[in-house]
Structure 1
Amino acid sequence: MGIDLTSLHWIYLSFIGLIIAFMVFRKDTTIICILGIFTIAAVATGSLTGSISSIFSSFIYAITELLPTILVISIIVAMSRSLTSTGINDVMIKPFASFIRTPTLAYWTIGLVMMFISWFFWPSPAVALLGAVLVPVALRVGLPALGIAMAMNLFGHGIALSGDFVIQAAPKLTSDAAGIPIGDVISASIPLVIIMGGVTTVTAFIFLKRDMKQGKLKVETSPLLFTETDTSSSLSPVWRRIIAILIPAAFILNVVAMSVFSLQGGDATALIGGTAMFIVLIISLAAFKGDGLSKTTGFLIDGFQFGFKVFGPVIPIAAFFYLGDSGFNAIIGDHLPQTSHGIVNDLGAALSTVVPISQAVGAVTLTAVGAITGLDGSGFSGISLVGSIASLFADSIGSGVATLTALGQIAAIWVGGGTLVPWALIPAAAICGVDPFELARRNLLPVTIGLVVTTIAAMFLM
């Protein structure tokens, strides 16, 4: 597999190292990302004006890619403001509050429910479904917002998405690339997903409880725990209860529609966002007689202000990492070699060509390649490459193609799909009102431990 690495690849890799170092030391990465975009564009085009323009173009590209997530988070926050300002939210969370009484119950309940819903509809819609109801309950029983975000993220974007047992988009891509039946990849991934998920979520919970006990983590406010009640609301207690019942019913109908019409990913998210928008309209018109139109606008302004405030710091770093995949041609132009499959995919493929072949090295390499291809924040863009490399390694080793394929798939999606790349975990961070970069830092050690243990386990399962 001949891979020609150019100066663009090495510059990109160098800036990745700088960005990771800045994130580890809790330094802002915005300037590094902008310099990285400018440098890569300058080397690729040789044009000063083109390089400067590429910074702006990369921001437009990143915003376009992130816009559906920005919109649905903004609308969910607007809905939450309408619920809390009218007192409906208190009625809605009462049944859950009677069951979820401790931070431990909140962490595991939110995580397991998130995992179950994500299996069927993928994590972003699941975050929106759970956020308005369970986040306030968890905060009130003492689970910090960061702990809630970790549970949603690790169980949803981690366990559920890396296995993808129901929708099967991920195993379909990897199995096709490896040239094996999809059932083989799913069967091989089951023990690895269980090991990865169990080790990571338990480790994260242990660290979380330790920091709570030491006072390092405390219960903060959240955009979904907006407690000011608007005295101009005219909803009676009876109508609050009725609407509190109708809202979950509407989202249950969403789930039914997703199943009946096979809506997943972006389509499912759009359905939830549209439903939330209708809820904002109905509540505003019903609760604020004669002032419903202006109240609707006010709730939307609150939601959009929150959405762009949260996403603002992420856009530059997302813009840089999008250069590693299809964003390069869209932002800078066709300046990569004809044989290139994207910078991050090229780096992953190049790594696979310089390592010796054995079961242990094969497992480590597939984990590393999966993690590298996940750096673009997609998780899915590089898993076909993972399947191809797994097939090559298995031919040399003589066995283990399904296990290697599943291992690479898990590594790619846990990193990029994702629990470590900041903009991939923004939905959970935004709903919980926490810094996505801080969430990525909290996830780093548990996910790394999980990947190490899972890689070792894969060596024995090949």
Structure 2
Amino acid sequence: MVALSAVHYVYIIMTIVIIVTLMLKKEIVLPCIVGTFLIGLFYSHNLLKSIQIMYNSVVTSATELLGIIVVISLVVAMSRSLSDIGADELMMRPVRKVIKGKKMAYFVVGIVMLIVSWFIWPSPAVALVGALLLPAAIEVGLPAIWAAVAMNLFGNGMGLSSDFFIQGAPSITGKAAGISTLSVMKASVPLWATMAIVTVAVSYVMMVRELKKNNISESCENIETPEEIAATQETKITTGGIFIAIVTPLAFVIDVVLMLKYKIVGGDATALVGGTAIIIMSVVSVMHNTLSESLEKITNNIKEGFIFGIKIFAPVIVIAAFFFMGSQDIAKQVLGPGATGLLSDIGIYLSSIIPMSRVPIAFMQAIIGGITGLDGSGFSGLPLVGALAQTFSTAADVNKDVLAALGQIATVWVGGGTIIPWGVIPVAAICNVKPTELARKNLIPVLSGLLATVIVAILIM
């Protein structure tokens, strides 16, 4: 049995403080800074060292998030260059014929996000779907916040929690539980379907009610900068613009084909998307300006893209610095080689004090999965919930496959990026909405889905 230290209790208390602050609709950067300092102080027992830990945690957090910051910034920079020549408008015309209204836009964005996430992972899918479908969805009146919700729930939730094609999640869970990947996938189908249907249904009802009331919060709307306003002005369509409007989606389709053919996933897939964005932006700048003008134009687009990226991610880097220390790998980098995974320790401790019967086991498996997902990683808690499924199934004679699948779904839906602000940042950034607001929109649907999924798990395991 894992014994909790003062550091663990500081982590738990500060996490509760942060969650309460979120519920009060306040910013959480300061509580995260205080939490990081206290963890450093209680771990090192040295004031000087704790101050250094605060800085090192932010640097480590920025390093972990750098890849997604760069790809979002590059896609935004590419979008700026497309707007300059009116290619973005041309690209959206065919899509508008399919997306007839707000409600349809919600499902089109979500389903496309789900399919792309299954094959190439949610991170690169965010950039692709955001670049190609988001403008059309907003054009028909779907608020950016609800487009972000659709991308989150269908991609980071439904897509990543099932992982039917790449099979990374069920493979990790299965190995830890001592069962095959196929066993986890089969057991997850009814649970995944329950989670998906309930979550999307609740979210859709909430969206329809809000749209009827026409009470979209100002914080959820796209706040246009002077540069963005200028980019939306009437632009003369040229032959080159038509060419770029055809080549841009074709280039990303080729990316998807290459990802499928050569099994390029995760960070490598994100890199392919980012590199494609750089090429398109460069080609547009050279084609539609003189050589001298293109040197300045591409620089300005890059600046605008990265200003946007840093503006969105700056507070999240500080927030993530606190929660990343719940992961053992990050904790070792920040606190020292003797550090353990705070979230894993807390999960193991909880598992050792619960009664061994079907109902509490199911709820505790889901709760522990959610706790281990608080670091914002959808996969870091999978070995733990897999191991717990093996332990619980032996102690209480319940279906190990179902229990493992339940833990996987809970872990990924929380940690994969749906209800914690530091986990939804890629979608929030591409949709230009506040991560905290997006997490709030997702919270009730996801918790409703998790409750329904636990009940189904109790009935079938």
Q: Give your verdict on TM over 0.5.
A: yes
Q: Quick check: 1:85–1:227 contact (8 Å CA) kept in 2?
A: no
Q: Which residue of 2 aligns with 1:349?
A: 348
How many Å separate the matches in 2 of 1:419 and 1:128?
Answer: 17
Q: Which residue of 2 aligns with 1:334?
A: 337
Cα-to-partner distance string for 1:193-237 (whole Å, 9 max, x where unaligned): 11101100110111111112112217833779945359998x853
Q: Quick check: 1:44–1:335 contact (8 Å CA) kept in 2?
A: no
Question: Which residue of 317, 320, 323 maps to 2:319?
Answer: 317
Q: Quick check: 2:221–2:433 contact (8 Å CA) kept in 1?
A: no
How many Å separate the matches in 2 of 1:396 and 1:321?
Answer: 32
Q: Quick check: 1:223–1:431 contact (8 Å CA) kept in 2?
A: no
Q: Quick check: 1:87–1:229 contact (8 Å CA) kept in 2?
A: no
Stretch moving more, 31-40 or 214-223:
214-223
Q: Which residue of 1 aligns with 2:444?
A: 445
Q: Quick check: 1:84–1:227 contact (8 Å CA) kept in 2?
A: no
The structural deviation recorded for 1:262 is 1.1
- Unaligned stretches of 5+ residues in structure 2: none
How many Å separate the matches in 2 of 1:138 and 1:348?
Answer: 40
Q: Which residue of 2 aligns with 1:31?
A: 30
Cα-to-partner distance string for 1:22-41 (whole Å, 9 max, x where unaligned): 01101111111111111111
Q: Quick check: 2:99–2:140 contact (8 Å CA) kept in 1?
A: yes
How many Å separate the matches in 2 of 1:395 and 1:5?
Answer: 25
Q: Which residue of 2 aligns with 1:300?
A: 302
How many Å separate the matches in 2 of 1:260 and 1:95?
Answer: 27
Amino acid at match of 1:280: M
How many Å separate the matches in 2 of 1:111 and 1:231?
Answer: 29
CA gap of 1:8–1:87, structure 2 versus 1, over 3 A, is same
Matched, 1:153 2:156: no
The structural deviation recorded for 1:243 is 1.3
Q: Which residue of 2 aligns with 1:257?
A: 258
3-state SS in 1 of match to 2:416: helix
How many Å separate the matches in 2 of 1:231 and 1:362?
Answer: 58
Amino acid at match of 1:334: P
Q: Which residue of 2 aligns with 1:411?
A: 410
How many Å separate the matches in 2 of 1:294 and 1:430?
Answer: 25
How many Å separate the matches in 2 of 1:8 and 1:230?
Answer: 51
Cα-to-partner distance string for 1:370-428 (whole Å, 9 max, x where unaligned): 00100111021111010111111111222310000000000000001120121221111
Matched, 1:228 2:230: yes
The structural deviation recorded for 1:98 is 1.3
How many Å separate the matches in 1 of 2:23 and 2:389?
Answer: 31
How many Å separate the matches in 2 of 1:232 and 1:295?
Answer: 19
Equivalences, count: 456
Matches within 5 A, 1:63-462: 63-217=62-216, 220-221=221-222, 226=228, 228-229=230-231, 237-290=238-291, 291-325=293-327, 326-336=329-339, 340=340, 342-462=341-461
What is the TM-score with the length of structure 1 in the denominator? 0.96
CA gap of 1:229–1:446, structure 2 versus 1, over 3 A, is closer
What is the TM-score with the length of structure 2 in the denominator? 0.96
3-state SS in 2 of match to 1:418: coil
CA gap of 1:331–1:141, structure 2 versus 1, over 3 A, is same
Identity among equivalent pairs (%): 43
Q: Quick check: 1:367–1:407 contact (8 Å CA) kept in 2?
A: yes
Amino acid at match of 1:149: A
The structural deviation recorded for 1:260 is 1.7
How many Å separate the matches in 2 of 1:249 and 1:167?
Answer: 24
- Unaligned stretches of 5+ residues in structure 1: none
Cα-to-partner distance string for 1:80-133 (whole Å, 9 max, x where unaligned): 111112111110000001110100000001101100110011101111111112
Q: Quick check: 1:119–1:165 contact (8 Å CA) kept in 2?
A: yes
Q: Quick check: 2:85–2:237 contact (8 Å CA) kept in 1?
A: no
Amino acid at match of 1:259: L
Amino acid at match of 2:439: A
Q: Quick check: 2:240–2:287 contact (8 Å CA) kept in 1?
A: no
Cα-to-partner distance string for 1:147-188 (whole Å, 9 max, x where unaligned): 000000000000000011111111011100110111110000
Amino acid at match of 1:320: F
How many Å separate the matches in 1 of 2:376 and 2:423?
Answer: 6
CA gap of 1:274–1:228, structure 2 versus 1, over 3 A, is same
Q: Quick check: 1:348–1:372 contact (8 Å CA) kept in 2?
A: yes
Matches within 5 A, 1:3-42: 3-42=2-41
CA gap of 1:222–1:89, structure 2 versus 1, over 3 A, is farther
Cα-to-partner distance string for 1:50-101 (whole Å, 9 max, x where unaligned): 1111111111000000000000000000011111121111100000011101
Amino acid at match of 1:263: I
CA gap of 1:12–1:403, structure 2 versus 1, over 3 A, is same
Q: Quick check: 1:222–1:432 contact (8 Å CA) kept in 2?
A: no
How many Å separate the matches in 2 of 1:191 and 1:388?
Answer: 21
CA gap of 1:222–1:432, structure 2 versus 1, over 3 A, is farther
The structural deviation recorded for 1:305 is 0.2
Q: CA RMSD in A?
A: 1.7
How many Å separate the matches in 1 of 2:105 and 2:425?
Answer: 20
Amino acid at match of 1:300: I
The structural deviation recorded for 1:434 is 0.2
CA gap of 1:139–1:222, structure 2 versus 1, over 3 A, is farther
